[in-house]
Structure formats: C-alpha cells, structure tokens
Copies of this chain bind each other. A is one copy, B any other.
Amino acid sequence: DTAESRGGITVKSDDGRFEAKIGGRIHFDTYIPVDDDDVGDLTGQTNFRRTRLILDGKAYGWAYKFECDFTGTGTGCFREMWLGSTLGPVNFRIGQAKPYRGMEELTSSNEILFMERPFATASGIYSGNQYAQGVFLDSHGANWTWAVSGYSLRNEEAPPTEGVGAAARVTFAPVLNDETVLHLGLSASTDRPQGEQRDGSGNPTGISVRDASGRAFGRISGGTRIARTSDERTGLGGELAFRTGPFYAQGEYAKVDYKSDTAGDESVDAYYLQASWLLTGETKPYDVKKGVFKSPKPKAASGAWELKARYDVMEGETAPNDKISNWIVGMNWFVNPNVRFMLEYLSGKIEQTTDTETQILQLRSQFNF
C-alpha cells in the first residue's frame, strides 16, 4: 500500500480496492464594519467560519465519508456522514448529505466564489436545511448529471421531528470544451413536516435568513423573517452558467411556496448573478460529475488572481413584502492549490417599512488539505 501527502494524508492499497483519506479545512474570517449607522454598532471581529476534519475511504466497493465541522457542537458538527456504493452507473449514499437543490449549494465551500453563498441556497431560502438524512442517488454522463434524494426532515442537532422531503436536480452542458462551457440546470424539492412542527430557526420548512450584510452579524431578528412555519414547502430552481477562458458568470433563480394553516401561504423568490475574471489567465474548471464550477489551479508561482462581483436578492411576494439584497465586489488570491485569500466589500440593504443599509469589508484566510 502507498501513502501520499498533499497537505493531508491518503493511503491506497496497491489493488485500488481500499483507500482512506484524511483532510480538512480552516476558513478564518475577519469582519470590519464600514457603515453600521442603520443597524446599531456592529462588532468588528475575527471568526473561524469552518474548521473541518474529513475522513473518507473505500473498502470492498463501498465508500464512506465522515465529516465534522468543529465550529458546531456535538452532532451539530456533522456535515457529510454517510456510507454508499454504486448500482451500475448510479452512486447511492445512505446517511447525511446535501439534498440536490441548486448549483451554488452543491459547490464545495472551498470552491465557492464568495465567502458566503447567495440567498438561493441554504444560506437564505432553504435556511436550516443544508443537510438532510436519507438516501441520495446521482449519476452523470459526458455533459449531463441527474441526482435525486429522499430524506427525513430530522435535523441532527434538534430534537426529533417527523416529516419527509425529496429533492431532485438535472443539469446539461450543451457547450463543453476546454475554452467554453454553457451550463443549464433545473431543480425541484418538496418538504412535508408531519406531526408537531417546530418553529423558529429550527423549523425544517420555514425560513430565517442571514443579515443582508453577511454572516458575521447573525440572523435577522423575528420581524424580518419572511415566513416562520409551513406545512408544506415546494421549491423550484433554474441555473444558467457560462465560462469562456478566464471569464465566468453564473446565475440562479429559486422560487419557494410555503403553505401554512396557521401562518398563511407565502411565496419567496431569490436570485443572483455573479461573475469573475481571472486576471492571471487561468480557466475555472467545470466538474462534469457534479455539474458545478471549481476553483482554478494557479499557473504562476505568484498564484492566481480573480476579480469578482455579485448581486443577490431575496424577496417575499405577499405582505410584508420584505426585500433583502446586497452587492459585493472583491478579489480572490489563489496562492496555491491549498491556500486562498478572499477580500470583499459588501453593501447590503433590507427594504421593509424602513430601509436599512450596511457596508462591511471582509477577509477570508483559507487552507484546505
């Protein structure tokens, strides 16, 4: 058997049937409020956004992943945690993983373009539902993927709850060559809690979003939650992405309908457009197995430099017709395949009866191994 290090540890048996890998990631953030007049005194601070230990391996045609984020407590540390195998061309996993709900959601946190994902993900419209427990199936061809998941609404951190959900996604890349990629995607999901529902941030099918001005400043307080509880949630999403040489753009639109006997029905839209230019000439790789873009590998010893911008919106359709939006401009420096720095200037806005605006400057230092 052979052992290898590229920062972590990989051991493979000579016949390729056995393998184990130890990796992890450290995402260390610094937040500096630039204008916090509207929201009270924000706390400039540092924060470990992710500190994950990841073991994965395979044996006798089966595989597992054991992923824990130490910024969470106890079972709250669980991220992916599953065993799985293949049935012909289909991979299946049993345990905890991400339901298939959209391109940016399924992009690794090591590879996302900005420090935080946009509202059309579990960072917004699917808040509290980034991971689920159940069965996950996926497959792919030369330029397409499909994936289906059926799961319990159990949130491992919270007390047991009943209810089930399902999410599916298909992607297709009509143009796919070394220079240019055109990516199309569709996803749909439904979540149906049963028995007693939980409300608040633990609600498996409600919504509670982060502050427009970023993760650092916590969740929006009660009044700005767009919907609290629901008996049934139905989500639909569309993806469109394009890359040619060093240029890349990606947008998603997600619409979620909430039905609730007690809180009334509600419909919420989220959409974003993000783009980047690799100043040092690299091309963002496209992962045909997952239908997402990845981080570029730097060509030069001085690393890869990427200019980036995003506009991001989430909006309720019924009164109170809250709208949360932000734009971000920034720069990524890929020092090497393991180290990345991100600098972002974010301007966020909440439009309610009174408008609230904030600006912050944020920096991520990242090592993944």
Contacts and interface: CB of A to CB of B under 8 A. Distances in A.
Copies of this protein in the assembly total 3
A262 interface: no
B4 A13 contact: yes
A82 B26 contact: yes
Interface in A44-73: 44-48, 51, 53, 55, 57-62, 64, 66, 68, 70-73
Interface SS, A side: strand
A7 B46 contact: no
Nearest to A363: B94
A96 B24 contact: no
Contacts of A234: none
Contacts of A70: 68, 74-75, 77-78
A42 to B, nearest CB: 9
A156 B5 contact: no
A298 to B, nearest CB: 9
A43 B81 contact: no
A195 interface: yes
Contacts of A55: 22, 24, 53, 369
Contacts of A195: 41, 43
Given A20-B369, A51-B66, A71-B74, 6 more contacts: A9-B11, A26-B64, A28-B95, A28-B133, A53-B66, A53-B68
Closest 7 CB pairs of A and B: A73-B74, A7-B59, A3-B3, A60-B336, A83-B367, A46-B133, A5-B11
